[in-house]
Amino acid sequence: MWGKKCETGLTHKKKIPMEVKKIACIGAGYVGGPTMSVIAQKNPDLQVTVVDLNAERIAAWNNQDVSKLPIYEPGLGAVVEEARGRNLFFSTDVERAIVEADMIFISVNTPTKTYGKGKGQAADLKFIELCARQIAAISTTDKIVVEKSTLPVRTAETLKSILDNTGNGVNFHILSNPEFLAEGTAIADLHAPDRVLIGGENTEAINALVQVYASWVPRERILTTNLWSSELSKLVANAFLAQRVSSINAISELCEVTGANVDEVAHAIGQDSRIGSKFLKASVGFGGSCFQKDILNLVYIARSYHLHKVADYWEQVVLLNDHQKTRFAEKIINTMYNTVNGKQIAFLGWAFKKDTNDTRESAAIYVADHLLDEQANIIVYDPQVTAEQIYKDLDGLGSRPPAQNRALLTVVSDPYQALSGVHAVAVLTEWDEFKTYDWSLIKQNMKRPAFVFDGRKLLHGATLQTLGFTYYAIGE
C-alpha cells in the first residue's frame, strides 16, 4: 500500500510511527470542548491541548469556577475539574499545540454558506481550509489529522490535498471521526457511546485512534470504515433523526384536525420494535447546529450529482420543519383573535432543546421573528441563555433594525417576571423547571383569557385547563 495510490485516490507515502502521546484539538466549541475533556479524563497518560482563536472562550474554559465554562452541559464541570491542569489544557497558542501534537483533531465550525455557490445549502469550509493550511505550514513531524467537525463527503480529499501540497514534506494521515454526541447529554453520550466511528485508509493511523477510545469504549462499539462511509454516515444519521422529527411533526398537524393525540400515536407506533420509540416527540420544530445543516449538505451533494429526486426527498424534511415553526406562530396569532399587535407574550425557553445554552437554529428565534413582524411584545426567560445571545440571534436574521428588536423584545432573569401581566405564554424549550412553576399563581397574574401555547407538549394540559387557562399544545 505504501507509496501507491489507494482506491480512494489518497496516496500513502511511507510508514509513520503511530504512537500518540500528545493530542491537539483545534476549536474549543460544543464538540471540541466536551469531547477532548472526556478523552483526557479517560486517558491520563495522553496530553490533550484544546486551542481556539477566541481568547474569551479559552479564558472561560480556564475559569476555576466550572459553572462559568463557556458551554452549559450537565456533568461537564466535573470532567474538566478532574483533567484540567493534569493532562487537559486550554490555550490560544494554536501553533505550539499543532507543532507538538502527534494527532490533531479539527473541531472548528462549518456553518452553511451565506454567499456564492451553494449559498444556503453547502457547508462553508473556509475554517477547515485555514486549519489545514496552518497545520501544513508549521508541522515538522508526521501527524494524524482527524476530522471531527461535520463535513461534506470527500472533505478528507480536500484536506489531504492541502496538507500534501503546502506541507514541508512530512506525512499526514487523515481520519474521519464524526461526533455523535447530542447537546444536553454530551457527557453521558461520550462516556457510553452507541458507537464510535473511525474512517480512514491507513490501518496504523486508525489503530492509533482506536486505542484512544478503547480506554473506555468497548472494542465492539468502535467501528472502522473507509473515509467516505464515515463522512457520509454522520450526515445520514442526522438526516434520519431529523426525518423522524419531521415525520411526527407532520402527523401532529393531522392530529390537530382529526382529534387524534400525537403523543398517543407516537407511543402506539413506537411500540413497534421496527420503528422504536425515540425521536418521536412532536415539537415546535427541531433546531441545533447539525440537523438542518447536515440535511442541506446532503441535499447539496445529491444535487451536485444530479440526483434531484434524492435531493427533493431530503429537502422536504427541512421544509416541513420550517412549516412547523410558522404554523406554531400562526396558531398563536389566530387564537389570539388574529392580532398580537401590542400584546405581551412570554416565551419560556430560547435554547434549541433543554440542558444546553446553545441557541443555533432554535425554533424560538423564528417563532419570535414571526410574532415581532406582527408587532407583538415578547418577554423571554431561559434559564441558561443570555440576553446578549438572544439579541444576537434576532439581529442575525436582519428582519428589522436592532433597536426595534430591543424595543419589542425584553429578556428577564426571573420567570415570574416574564409571566406577570402577559396575555399569553409560549413554551419553546422543554426545560424541566417550567413544569414546577406555580401555574395557579401565574394564572392570577395574567390577562384574561390566559393563553398557553405549548410548543413542547411539556405542561400538563388538563391541569392548566382546570386552572382556567386556554391551553393549546402541538398535535392535540
User: Which residues in this chain contact ligand UDX in the complex, by CB under 6 A?
Assistant: 179-183, 238, 241, 245, 279-281, 283, 286-288, 290-291, 352-353
Query: In the bound complex, which residue of the shown chain has the CB atom lying closest to ligand UDX?
Result: 288
Residue 255 labelled as part of a binding site? no
Residue 79 labelled as part of a binding site? no
**Of residues 25, 46, 52, 343, which one binds ligand ADP by CB under 6 A?**
52
Q: Does 151 bind ligand ADP (CB under 6 A)?
A: no
**CB nearer ligand UDX, residue 132 or residue 241:** 241
Give strand pairing partners of 53. none
Q: Does 108 bind ligand ADP (CB under 6 A)?
A: yes
Binding piece for ligand ADP, criterion CB under 6 A, among 20-28, 152-160, 194-202, 228-236: 20-28
CB atoms within 10 A of CB 441: 13
What is the 8-class DSSP label of residue 47? E
**Of residues 16, 18, 27, 232, which one binds ligand ADP by CB under 6 A?**
27
Rg of the chain over Cα atoms, rounded to whole angstroms, equals 24
Binding piece for ligand ADP, criterion CB under 6 A, among 48-56, 155-163, 292-300, 377-385: 48-56
Gap between the Cα atoms of 10 and 172, Å rounded: 11
**Residues 6 or more apart in contact with residue 252 via CB below 8 angstroms:** 262, 282, 324, 474, 475
**CB nearer ligand UDX, residue 325 or residue 423:** 325
Q: Does 132 bind ligand ADP (CB under 6 A)?
A: no
| Grid coordinates belonging to 448 | 384574561
At 252 the three-state DSSP class reads helix
Pick the closest to residue 34 from 352, 363, 287, 356 (CA basis). 356
Gap between the Cα atoms of 243 and 317, Å rounded: 6
**CB nearer ligand ADP, residue 352 or residue 434:** 352
Pick the closest to residue 445 from 419, 411, 472 (CA basis). 419
Residue 133 labelled as part of a binding site? no
Residue 262 Cβ vs ligand UDX, minimum distance, rounded to whole Å: 11
Residue 391 labelled as part of a binding site? no
3-state secondary structure 70-113: CCCCCCHHHHHHHHECCCEEEECCHHHHHHHCCEEEECCCCCEC
Residue 211 Cβ vs ligand ADP, minimum distance, rounded to whole Å: 24
Residue 150 labelled as part of a binding site? yes
**Of residues 10, 20, 23, 30, which one binds ligand ADP by CB under 6 A?**
30
Residue 131 annotated to the active site: no
Residue 345 Cβ vs ligand UDX, minimum distance, rounded to whole Å: 20
Q: Does 287 bind ligand ADP (CB under 6 A)?
A: no
Residue 286 labelled as part of a binding site? yes
Tell me which residue has cell 413506537.
Answer: 270
What is the total residue count of the chain?
Answer: 476
| Grid coordinates belonging to 190 | 461520550
Determine phi and psi for 262, rounding to 5 degrees.
Answer: -65, -30
**Of residues 24, 26, 174, 301, which one binds ligand ADP by CB under 6 A?**
26
Gap between the Cα atoms of 153 and 143, Å rounded: 22
**CB nearer ligand UDX, residue 5 or residue 435:** 435
**Residues 6 or more apart in contact with residue 462 via CB below 8 angstroms:** none
Total binding residues toward ligand ADP, as defined by CB under 6 A: 21
**CB nearer ligand UDX, residue 360 or residue 423:** 360
Residue 266 Cβ vs ligand UDX, minimum distance, rounded to whole Å: 8
Q: Does 152 bind ligand ADP (CB under 6 A)?
A: no
Residue 195 labelled as part of a binding site? no
- Helices and strands: H and E segment counts in the chain: 18, 14
Question: β-strand 451-454 against 377-381: which pairing, if any?
Answer: unpaired
Determine phi and psi for 152, rounding to 5 degrees.
Answer: -65, 155
Burial class (CB in 10 A: 0-12, 13-18, 19+), 211: middle
**Known binding-site positions:** 27-32, 52, 57, 108-112, 149-150, 179-183, 234-238, 274, 281-287, 290-293, 352-353, 360, 456
Residues of the shown chain interacting with ligand ADP in the complex, contacts defined by CB under 6 A: 26-32, 51-54, 57, 94, 107-109, 127, 130-131, 149, 289
**Known binding-site positions for substrate:** 179-183, 234-238, 274, 281-287, 352-353, 456
Residues belonging to the active site: 290
**Known binding-site positions for NAD(+):** 27-32, 52, 57, 108-112, 149-150, 183, 290-293, 360
